[in-house]
Each structure stands twice: as C-alpha cells, then as structure tokens.
C-alpha cells in the first residue's frame, strides 16, 4: 500500500469514528433524561480514568518493535488480558461504594456493564495494533466501519 493511500485510510478511519461518537452522543442525549445523562457521564468519567492503564503501551509495542516473535506476542496478549481482568475486578469492587457516594444506585448497573464490556477490548486492540504494524489501514478502516454499521443497526 502506498503511503498516500495509507494516510487517506488512516484519516478516514479516525474522523469517521469521531463523527460516529458525536452522533452517538447526540442520540444518547436525546434518549436519556438530564438525570440519567448526569449519572452516565459521572460513571464514564470515572471509568475513563482507568483507560490509560488498560493498554500499558502494549499496542505501541506491537506496532513499533522490530522483531515481534510469537513469544513476545503471547506475552503482550497475556499482559492485556491480565490488565483487562484486573480493571474489571476493580470496577466490580468499586461500583457499590461509588454508587453510595453519589447516591445514585444506577451507577452500580452501569459499572457492571462497563466491567463486562471492558473484557472485550484486548482482542480488538491486538488486531488493531497488528493491522497498524502491517500498515493495513484499509482493512482496519473496513473493520471499524463494519463495527460501526453493526453497532447502529
């Protein structure tokens, strides 16, 4: 793939995802009451603080390392799975105290769902990192567009 084509696909991929996030936010804001938006927003901010710890630079390692052996790939996979499990357990343990602190029992359910869904991120992160390493930005964009279409059908 030419550099120009790779840049175009990467650009489309990034800005299409921003557009979808914007539209999702607008739809969510329209469907939920102001109180529900507040509870959801507080929960997402709290969970968002854990985001940087989830990857621990594993994706960048897969993309940038010169010699990626199968053993190194398995080690990265193990670290990502381990961190996903640890963060999910942390969310599960914190959901009661956080809900009590904010006096919003709905937070418990939202944090439970986010803990379960966070376990789905390591496989997609590894695929994204591998495709980026191989400069397969066209495939990566098609996969992400497919996820967008499937998620909003």
Q: Per residue in 3-20, pLDDT tens?
A: 788 778 777 777 877 887
Query: Tell me, what's the pLDDT at 149?
Result: 46
Given a contact cutoff of 8 angstroms between Cβ atoms, the answer to whether 134 and 122 are in contact is: no
Distance CA 102, CA 120 (A): 27
Residues above pLDDT 90, as percent of the chain: 19
- pLDDT tens digits, one per residue of 100-137: 999 999 999 999 998 998 888 888 888 888 888 888 87
Q: What is the DSSP letter of 66?
A: S
* Range 34-39 average pLDDT: 87
pLDDT at 76 over 80: yes
Placement of tokens 């991929």 in the chain? 13
Provide φ and ψ at 50, rounded to 5°.
-85, -15
Q: What is the DSSP letter of 76?
A: H
Distance CA 7, CA 2 (A): 9
Residue 84: in which H helix or E strand, if any? helix 70-102
**Whether the model pTM is above 0.75:** no
Distance CA 88, CA 94 (A): 10
pLDDT band at 92 (very low <50, low <70, confident <90, very high): very high
Distance CA 80, CA 59 (A): 9
């Amino acid at each position: 793939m030419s550099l120009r084509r790779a840049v175009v696909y990467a650009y489309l991929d990034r800005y299409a995802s921003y557009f979808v996030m914007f539209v999702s936010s607008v739809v969510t804001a329209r469907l939920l009451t102001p109180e529900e938006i507040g509870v959801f927003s507080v929960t997402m901010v709290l969970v968002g603080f854990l985001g940087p710890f989830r990857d621990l630079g594993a994706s960048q390692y897969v993309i940038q390392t010169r010699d990626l052996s199968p053993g190194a790939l398995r080690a990265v996979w193990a670290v990502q799975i381990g961190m996903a499990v640890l963060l999910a357990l942390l969310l599960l343990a914190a959901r009661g105290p956080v809900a009590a602190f904010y006096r919003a029992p709905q937070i418990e359910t939202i944090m439970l769902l986010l803990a379960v869904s966070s376990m789905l991120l390591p496989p997609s992160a590894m695929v994204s990192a591998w495709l980026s390493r191989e400069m397969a930005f066209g495939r990566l964009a098609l996969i992400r567009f497919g996820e967008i279409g499937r998620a909003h059908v």
